[in-house]
Structure 1
Amino acid sequence: MHLIDSHAHIYVPEFDSERKALIEKATAQGVEQILMPAIDATTHQLMLQVEEDYPSCKAMMGLHPCSVNAEYKTELAIIKDWLERRSFIAIGEIGLDFYWDKTFTQQQYDCFHQQIEWALQYQLPIVIHSRDAVDEAIAVVKQYPTLRGVFHCFSGTIAQAEQIMALNFMLGIGGVVTFKNAGLDKVVQHIGLDALILETDAPYLAPVPYRGKRNQVDYLPLVADKIASVTGKTIEEVAKITTQNTINLFNL
């Protein structure tokens, strides 16, 4: 079984003491690659060092919407510089987050649009964060017909999933699909595997039975197993299809 974790912050300090062991454990579970979304300038160097140290880990570049503040233009300038210096697998994670704070709503939109423009310029997919902002993020994506990417940590409705799929975007499915009352299992059952890629979002949103604890990349098979159970597929079929979806999206 071959899996790809399409979204994990394996480079953050929470993993410093056991990163090597956890990556090896994930590899033993069939997780052959780990795709790392950027956060902001405070963690870019950490992420790139992990990429250098572990060939299975691949870096993206971008500004997380929760890191957008009055100094966002400085952050964007740093991203632009990195994009000019070397290649990345995607622009991400970028998007909109209206859950915690709407102080910098317009700035979030400005950053989202600018980073989409760079994605188009460099012919890269985008990885979208859309907490409490799925409809708003869909509306932005609709403005760019040739854009491709994934709505990371999707936990929306069937109608939203269908809109995203109609835009030729993928849905990133993680531990939330294992949560009893989240309803994501019913969405996955309805839409099938054609537009799904798997993720952990480690260290966040650990699947059952680890819910509430630190998430790890070696927990990805639990996500695949749950998707298999709700779609009537084997875990091997889920792994094969979602892995190929990920390879296709990120040109791996």
Structure 2
Amino acid sequence: MFIDTHAHIYAQQFEKDQEEALQRAFEQGVNKIYLPNIDHTSIDGMLEVEAKYPDNCFAMMGLHPCSVKQDFEKELYLVEDWLNKRPFAAVGEIGTDLYWDKNFYEQQAEAFEIQVGWAKKHQRPIVIHCRESFQETIDLLKPLMDDKLTGVFHCFTGSVADAQQVIELGFYLGIGGVATFKNGGLDKVLPEVLLEHLVLETDCPYLAPVPHRGKRNESAYVPLVAQKLAEIKGVTVEEVAQNTTKNAEKLFA
């Protein structure tokens, strides 16, 4: 059994074959899929998927850093309202992003700190996006840590030293398609990281693993990531599946 800890299966890229894509995932043994929110535009679609597949698909609630603009307070009111209304698997995806736009970093940092506060209040894990802003995000997170706060650094692509920082905070590393890329760099990092610190993800429809690189990603490809991880670490796919599933279940418990 596999768990996809990060999938945008509600995205418009799946509007024609969402059901078929989910069935393919289930056939591959991926029977739990966690859905990170983006902003107000993604909530309805995400909750519809969860309602259709309540035993397999689990919604998170948060504001993605790329959706943090001048009026981000309005978006945050909506997130807070939903978090107070019903339980969610996690607060996410939240964080910072210095890849697409550097103009709103201060607002991103503020939105991140506010949402971490809500995660603590509701005792939920956080799912962190930190593209081109790993160290900045670690520096924001450290003063907010307490003994209950946990989560995952989604789409981890950092160094061994970066991985160590995440592990020391008690967080997991989200490993996806980049692990299969020839120059992704994770082949040098993952041998140094114990399986007990890793969870699997796709970030579909983005970052499809080899041999589907450049095409639409989907949750059915989680086993391809697991196979590559097994190869890199010199263990069986079964060991990867067992460990990463246990970690994901602990994370979202």
TM-score, normalised via structure 2 length: 0.98
- Residue-by-residue CA offset, 1:128-156 (whole Å, 9 max, x unaligned): 00000111111122111332000000000
The equivalences for 1:38-57 within 5 A come to 38-55=37-54, 56-57=56-57
User: Structure 1 stretch 73-82 or stretch 143-152: which is displaced more?
Assistant: 143-152
Distance in 2 separating the partners of 1:170 and 1:206? 21
Residues 145 and 167 of structure 1 are in contact (CA less than 8 Å); yes or no, is this contact kept in structure 2?
Answer: no
Gaps of 5+ in 1: none
- Residue-by-residue CA offset, 1:158-203 (whole Å, 9 max, x unaligned): 1000011011000000000000011112211111211000000000
Number of equivalenced pairs: 250
Distance in 1 separating the partners of 2:6 and 2:187? 19
Distance in 1 separating the partners of 2:9 and 2:183? 28
- Residue-by-residue CA offset, 1:98-148 (whole Å, 9 max, x unaligned): 011111111000000000000000000000000001111111221113320
- Residue-by-residue CA offset, 1:179-228 (whole Å, 9 max, x unaligned): 00111122111112110000000000000011111101101100000000
Runs of 4+ in 1 over 4 A off after TM superposition: none
Distance in 1 separating the partners of 2:47 and 2:71? 23
Distance in 2 separating the partners of 1:42 and 1:31? 26
Distance in 2 separating the partners of 1:216 and 1:182? 19
Paired-residue identity, %: 53
1:224 aligns with 2:226: yes
RMSD: 0.7
The equivalences for 1:79-228 within 5 A come to 79-143=79-143, 144-146=145-147, 147-228=149-230
Residues 59 and 88 of structure 1 are in contact (CA less than 8 Å); yes or no, is this contact kept in structure 2?
Answer: yes
Residue 45 (structure 1) shift = 0.8
1:3 aligns with 2:5: no
Letter of the 1:231 counterpart: K
Residue 16 (structure 1) shift = 1.2
1:60 aligns with 2:60: yes
Gaps of 5+ in 2: none
